[in-house]
Amino acid sequence: MNWITNYVRPRINSIFSRREVPENLWQKCDECGTMLFHRELAENLNVCTQCGHHMNISPRARFTGLFDGGVFVEVDVPEPVADPLHFRDQKKYPDRMKAAQKGSGEKEAMLVATGEIGRTPIVAAAQDFSFMGGSMGMYVGNAIIAAAQEAVKLKRPLILFSAAGGARMQEGILSLMQMPRSTVAVQMLKEAGLPYIVVLTHPTTGGVTASYAMLGDVHIAEPNALICFAGPRVIEQTIRETLPEGFQRAEYLLDHGMLDRVVKRTDLRDELITITRMLMKLPPVVRGELPAPAVKADEPAAEKTAAPKPTESKAAAKS
């Protein structure tokens, strides 16, 4: 939980890696095909500036846009046993893990952090779809439990961004057991009287939907996100008919009573601030330019020396 290793270093790394790959300057929208300038796209939180299509966003990028001044402190997640089943399909599980770690620059498929949004202290957890499809294994289960415990300890709401193809097959039954484990985490929050808000992002499917993603006090989804238990392909094979347009998409789930709201990613931060502040019985948020937050007293003293420069924040202009 060191501010320098967890926050400064990745940022520095990302600056350098960006310079090394100039071909990443442009990205094509998966939906409308428009070539989008990388920086512009990142500033718009990976939402296409042409058609409004929501592309995947890494937990780190999401948190940078979400938290005041882009400042957050990572919460430690207990490391589970590596490759508990000695799983091997066409590749060995540890090899798949290494490839995923290299590809994403992250340790695992979920990131947990504490920080403030519109001066509202929260704990946030976000799932990384780019890491083995965001799949829920023991680490993700541990991350959700750690997030809930941190929220209970600090008496803060938990906001969870789900994104996953489902359970991680390479951990077999132990990945399935994350359904009850994550449910226990949700119960900890409910018993402590703390809000648990789920933001369902594209895609949220399988065992993830059938556990912590559907147990929130408030369910918000990003537009057009696929949210389901069984995927459309499986259903088409079972019932042998073509599914209607928009089936299992966020708007469809909203119509069928499974969600409270469908909110654009660019409006999400304001909406989360409004909802959490009401549920926490805090006064309305002060809108306008605010300096980046000062370092909290409850954080380790070492971090004070590395207080963020307000100029570094792009979120200050957003709030």
Specify binding-site residues for Zn(2+).
29, 32, 48, 51
As a whole number of angstroms, the distance between CA 24 and CA 37 comes to 9
- 306 makes contact with another protein (CB under 8 A): no
Closest distance of CB 126 from another protein, Å: 19
Query: Does the CA dihedral 273-275-281-286 come out positive or negative?
Result: positive
Q: What is the DSSP letter of 264?
A: -
As a whole number of angstroms, the distance between CA 48 and CA 253 comes to 23
- 203 makes contact with another protein (CB under 8 A): no
54-83: which residues touch another protein (CB under 8 A)?
80-81, 83
CB 248 within 8 A of CB 226: yes
Orientation angle between helical segments 178-191 and 138-154, nearest 10 degrees: 10
3-state SS string over 44-107? Answer: CCCECCCCCCECCCCHHHHHHHHCHHHCEEECCCCCCCCCCCCCECCCEHHHHHHHHHHHHCCC
- 307 makes contact with another protein (CB under 8 A): no
Residue 76 vs 299, nearer CB to another protein: 76
Strand partners, 160: 125, 198
- 86 makes contact with another protein (CB under 8 A): yes
Q: What is the DSSP letter of 5?
A: I
In this chain, which stretch among 63-71, 108-116, 251-259, 265-273 interacts with another protein, using CB under 8 A?
251-259
| Residue 253-272 contact track with another protein, rule CB under 8 A, x = bound | ---xxx--------------
- 134 makes contact with another protein (CB under 8 A): no
Residue 213 vs 275, nearer CB to another protein: 213
- Which of 97, 174, 194, 272: binder of another protein (CB under 8 A)? 174
- Which of 64, 211, 313, 319: binder of another protein (CB under 8 A)? 211
- 193 makes contact with another protein (CB under 8 A): no
CB 318 within 8 A of CB 269: yes
Which parts of this chain interact with another protein (CB under 8 A)?
80-81, 83-90, 138, 141, 145, 167, 169, 171-177, 179-181, 183-184, 186-187, 206-207, 209-215, 227-230, 234-235, 238-239, 241, 243, 247-248, 256-258
